[in-house]
Amino acid sequence: MRPHQRLWRQRRNATIVALAVAVIGLTACHSSPRSAPAPQQTVLPLGGLNHPAGVAVDTNGAVYVADSGNKRVLKLAPGSNSPTVLPFTGLNYPDSVAVDKAGAVYATDDHNNRVVKLPAGSNAQTVLPFTGLNGPDGVAVDSAGAVYVADYLNARVVELAAGSTTQTVLPFTHLGLPRGVAVDGAGTVYVADFGSKRVVKLAAGATTQAVLPFDGLQDPVGVAVDTAGRVSVTDYFNNAAVTLAAGSCTQTALPFTGLTGPESAAVDTAGNVYVVDGQNNRVVKLSSAPSTTPPACRQTVLPFTGLDDPWAVAVDTAGNVYVVNNASGDNRSGVVKLAAGSNAQTDLRFTGLGFPESVAVDAAGNTYVVDNKTNRVLKLTPDSNTQTMLPFSGVAPRAVAVDTAGDVFVTDYRNDRVLKLAAGSNTPTVLPFTHLTGSDGLAVDTAGDVFVVDGDKVLKLAAGSNTPTVLPFTGLKNPWGVAVDTAGAVYVADSINKRVLKLAAGSNTQTVLPFVGLGDPQGVAVDTAGAVYVTDRDNAEVVKLAAG
């Protein structure tokens, strides 16, 4: 990143607002980008710009620009070739601009750490009663007059309701450097998070955010939402802008040309997209593209709440999903269960967990967890308040699996071995894996074959065999979780490559599953219908890819 945040922002400026009125139904799913028809691009007649950063459009088509380097805000009326300077005073690097339905204009005044409002037809600005801002960046206003600000250096988004003097911090989590903010007609708030290279949304009244399925973003800065629910994002260092239709699984590259350091984005009621081309000191407009029918979506984010660091995942025969959540601060690490087809979440009653890493569930509904910190393997029966410590001793457990017979398998990573505890036995046996160098993921199929992630490879020990084989996965970098389905296909969470791979039974050719937006895939599981579940540690989510 840059050596000094504020200096970087002064040179390149920052970002967004998109004022949008939309009712959105964006589903978290996506595949690969595709080209769109080529609408016409025009350069707006805004001469003399000096590092412009923000843009907004009102319902009449007037365009507003935060001209940061010149410390002013401009307005270009519809059909005009001559912008006017709005009578803001004392601005010092205005970063973003928004306009409400009454025509009042809002600007984030970056170096003064404030947000100012200029009512329509007025020459007297007011300072909104936000407190503690540090590098305010994107600004947006909803139909009720609530104002939203991306408080960049505080890594938060704050809301000030109309007429209120008390701000609210919205419950976004894991924000890095939020740059752009937008709000739709339903009150859903969207944030372009430059630091985490993603776009997140928070529905009105919700406490859990969702990560939008944009793929390959390098440095998202601006975000805008149109009346059809289409979300458009500027990607600063990729010199690009992309859009995702409501309900779509496929993002589209917007056919702007010649962009260098695009910052803010906005959209008008006709669907035309406006982008601040910061390093070229211009604002460009792209006429709306013909609408297309989005493809069916396969990827969804499961409605877990309060996840901090989801580590591993398991799914039982009824479709209930279990997640190991390693919490920070005052929160408690544990195992969380989400009932099939429900939003009902339950904390399982394990006690004394230090750092749980893996979870498994058997056919009877017993839940198993390995606790790396206390070196224990624990079992919890269904609807029980009592856990049992299984008789593994002298181990440093990392992963656990259970077969259809109730045999329990554990990787002992410090001793470079895999152990099996047969059902009803008190004495584990060592499986004939050799030369292990740090075993992580573990799975067992219905035939009794055992699969282990070891370093950057996946090993298979066939039932009854003494010789493991290396599966023909290629290009793995820090793989972690492994799973196997009823047809014998093997799935691997390839963490550093941010992907999930599948190797069909008997095949030598792997397939990359069409997950998008994964930050750090860690655990993987597959249900009886072939749906694949992945824990994404960076985004603090559990993502499901339906069979297809």
Three-state SS string across 289-309, please? CCCCCCCCCCEEECCCCCCCC
Q: Is residue 391 part of a domain?
A: yes
Residue 334 φ then ψ, to 5° = 180, -165
- Give the three-class secondary structure for 260: coil
**Locus of tokens 């299984």:** 390
Query: Which tokens go with 475?
Result: 């290009």
Same domain (yes/no): 280, 311: no
Number of domains the chain contains: 2
Report yes or no on 471 lying in a domain: yes
d(CA 490, CA 311): 19
Q: Which of 260, 286, 312 is the last residue of a domain?
A: 286
Q: Which residues contact 86 (CB under 8 A, 6 or more apart)?
A: 64, 72, 73, 74, 75, 105, 118
Tell me, yes or no, whether 281 and 304 share the same domain.
no
Task: Tell me, yes or no, whether 307 and 268 share the same domain.
Answer: no
Rounded to whole angstroms, the Cα distance separating 350 from 378 reads 8
Cα-trace Rg, the chain: 26
Q: Which domain holds residue 71?
A: 5-286
Instruction: Give whole-number Cα distances, 362 to 136, 315, 358, 408, 422, in Å.
Output: 51, 10, 14, 9, 13
Residue 20 lies in a domain: yes
Gap between the Cα atoms of 177 and 6, Å rounded: 12
**Contact by Cβ (8 Å): 380, 421:** no
Residue of 316, 362, 358 whose CA lies nearest to 337: 316
Last residue of a domain, one of 286, 313, 345: 286
| CATH number of the domain residue 24 falls in | 2.120.10.30
Give the chain's mean pLDDT.
Answer: 91
Q: Read off φ and ψ for residue 280, nearest 5 degrees.
A: -100, 5
Instruction: Report the C-alpha gap between 360 and 436 in whole angstroms.
Output: 22
pLDDT in tens for each of the 548 residues of the chain?
Answer: 222 334 344 334 333 333 333 323 333 333 344 444 457 999 999 989 999 999 999 999 999 999 999 999 999 999 999 999 999 999 999 999 999 999 999 999 999 999 999 999 999 999 999 999 999 999 999 999 999 999 999 999 999 999 999 999 999 988 999 999 999 999 999 999 999 999 999 999 998 888 898 988 999 999 999 999 999 999 999 999 999 988 777 899 999 999 999 999 999 999 999 999 999 999 999 998 556 666 767 899 999 988 989 999 999 999 999 999 988 655 678 999 999 998 889 999 899 999 999 999 999 999 999 999 999 999 999 877 789 999 999 999 999 999 999 999 999 999 999 999 999 999 999 999 999 988 889 999 999 999 999 999 999 999 999 999 999 999 999 999 999 999 999 999 999 999 999 999 999 999 999 998 898 999 999 999 999 999 999 989 999 999 98
CA distance 274 to 39: 13
Per-residue model confidence (pLDDT) at position 249: 72
Structure tokens at 287: 């006429």
* DSSP 8-class letter at 8: H
On whether both 398 and 538 belong to a single domain, the answer is yes
Quick one: which of 312, 234, 307 has its CA closest to 274? Answer: 234
Q: Alpha carbon 381 to chain centroid distance?
A: 34
51 shares its domain with 75: yes
Residue 234 DSSP SS3: strand
Residues 454 and 323 placed together within one structural domain of the fold:
yes
**Residue 292 within any structural domain of the chain:** no
**What is the per-residue DSSP string for 128-194?**
----S-SSEEEEEE-TT--EEEEEGGGTEEEEE-TT-S--EE----S-SSEEEEEE-TT--EEEEET
> Does 533 map to a domain?
yes
- DSSP H helix total and E strand total for the chain: 1, 50
- Amino acid 288: pLDDT: 82
19 beta partners: 183
Which secondary structure element, helix H or strand E, spans residue 9, and what is its range?
Answer: helix 5-12
C-alpha span between 467 and 193 (Å, rounded): 48
Q: Are residues 121 and 256 in the same domain?
A: yes
Q: Is residue 293 part of a domain?
A: no
Question: Do 246 and 307 belong together in one domain?
Answer: no
In a domain, residue 194? The reply is yes
Residues 209 and 357 in one domain: no
The answer on 192 and 154 residing in a single domain is: yes
Q: Tell me the β-bridge partners of 169.
A: 158
- For residues 379 and 389, give the distance between their C-alpha atoms in angstroms, rounded to a whole number: 6
Gap between the Cα atoms of 192 and 194, Å rounded: 6
Q: And the tokens for 93?
A: 């690097």
Residues 306 and 351 in one domain: yes
Tokens at 465, concatenated = 């065999």
Residue 484: per-residue pLDDT: 99
Q: Is residue 367 domain-shared with residue 405, that is, in the same domain?
A: yes
Q: Residues 170, 157: contact at Cβ < 8 Å?
A: yes
**Does any domain span residue 345?**
yes
The span from the CA of 235 to the CA of 242, in Å, is 8
Beta strands, E only, 326-426: 334-338, 345-347, 356-361, 367-371, 376-380, 387-389, 397-402, 408-412, 417-421
Domain boundary among 286, 320, 354: 286
Helix (H) or strand (E) holding 12: helix 5-12
